[in-house]
């Protein structure tokens, strides 16, 4: 999953960036309002962590501009972080389009939990545990098991599996996976995506999970169906922001 962090305090920004990367998120960090607005128009993100007290353009201005840009940007989760904790400040931020509000100083563990909750909410997941047939994936620990036995996945493979499970039944393109797996300070090629998907497919096949390739659309894991019902693929190309990612090496390993 790829996150945009908008924070002008260098010590806090550095600490939050490092902590999110340890949780295997890809993070882009900017320090002022105009830079945030530019990033949101040129890149795709799964979540924004937005400080209100920014130089050159306030966080509320950034948020209002974001929500005015279209349906995809209206759906992008935004977590406000600010030292202003009055009821009026909270109401103003939420009314401007924020999804959650975290008052500084905050515990990093709470930040991580709120980030995971917002991502789950966007993808209609009800818990950190994604269950798909004999496969279970824990969003928090990024651990996968098949029939209770751990699967050895690389950081990149786990990131791809997460998005495919969250978007089960819908196609995700290689380009979307590539952008979501990488922050600005890393890089990955389309060929590397193919390698990661190939390796992931081989590891999932023994558990009866198929990663399908649809020419011109991308990759898809069939949507899970209850026992005793007919199996159907609900397939549609992704139109919103890609839901991918994990921090790690930029080359196939």
Give this prediction's pTM. Answer: 0.73
Distance of alpha carbon 55 from alpha carbon 49, whole angstroms:
16
Distance of alpha carbon 6 from alpha carbon 16, whole angstroms:
10
Orientation of helix 10-22 relative to helix 108-122, angle to 10°: 60
| Residue 201, burial from CB neighbour count under 10 angstroms (0-12, 13-18, 19+) | middle
Q: Where are the alpha helices (DSSP H) in 205-252?
A: none
- Which domains, from first to last, does the chain contain? 2-122 (3.40.50.2300), 129-221 (1.10.10.10)
Residue 157: asked if its preceding bond is cis (omega within 30°), the reply is no
Q: pLDDT tens string for the chain (253 positions)?
A: 899 999 999 999 999 999 999 998 999 999 999 999 999 999 889 999 999 999 999 999 999 999 998 776 788 999 999 888 788 888 999 999 999 999 999 999 999 999 999 988 877 766 788 899 999 999 888 899 999 999 999 989 999 998 899 888 889 998 888 877 777 767 788 889 999 999 999 999 998 999 999 988 899 998 765 544 444 444 444 444 444 444 444 444 4
Orientation of helix 155-166 relative to helix 190-204, angle to 10°: 80
Q: What is the pLDDT of residue 225?
A: 57
Query: Which candidate, 206, 212, 203, places its Cα nearest to that of 231?
Result: 212
Q: How many CB atoms lie within 10 A of CB 172?
A: 23
* DSSP letters spanning 138-194: ETTTTEEEETTEEE---HHHHHHHHHHHHTTTSBB-HHHHHHHH--TT----HHHHH
Tokens for 181? Answer: 């797996």
Q: What is the pLDDT of residue 79?
A: 97
Residue that is written with structure tokens 């939420």 in the block: 94
């Amino acid at each position: 999953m790829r996150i945009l962090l908008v924070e002008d305090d260098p010590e806090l920004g550095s600490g939050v960036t490092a902590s999110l990367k340890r949780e295997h998120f890809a993070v882009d960090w900017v320090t002022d309002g105009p830079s945030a607005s530019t990033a949101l128009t040129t890149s795709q993100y799964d979540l924004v962590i937005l400080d209100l007290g920014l130089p050159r353009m306030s966080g509320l201005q950034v948020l209002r501009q974001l929500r005015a840009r279209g349906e995809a940007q209206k759906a992008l989760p935004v977590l406000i972080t600010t030292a202003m904790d009055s009821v009026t400040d909270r109401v103003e931020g939420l009314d401007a389009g924020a999804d959650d509000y975290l008052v500084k100083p905050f515990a990093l563990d709470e930040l991580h939990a709120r980030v995971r909750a917002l991502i789950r909410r966007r993808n209609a997941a009800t818990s950190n545990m994604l269950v798909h047939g004999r496969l279970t994936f824990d969003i928090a620990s990024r651990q996968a098991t098949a029939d209770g036995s751990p699967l050895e996945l690389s950081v990149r493979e786990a990131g791809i599996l997460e998005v495919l499970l969250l978007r089960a039944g819908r196609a995700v393109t290689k380009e979307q996976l590539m952008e979501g797996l990488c922050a600005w300070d890393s890089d990955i090629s389309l060929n590397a995506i193919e390698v990661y998907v190939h390796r992931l497919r081989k590891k999932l096949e023994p558990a009866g999970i198929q990663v399908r390739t649809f020419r011109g659309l991308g990759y898809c894991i069939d949507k899970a169906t209850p026992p005793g019902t007919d199996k159907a693929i609900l397939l549609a190309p992704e139109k919103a922001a890609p839901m991918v990612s994990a921090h790690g090496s930029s080359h196939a390993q």
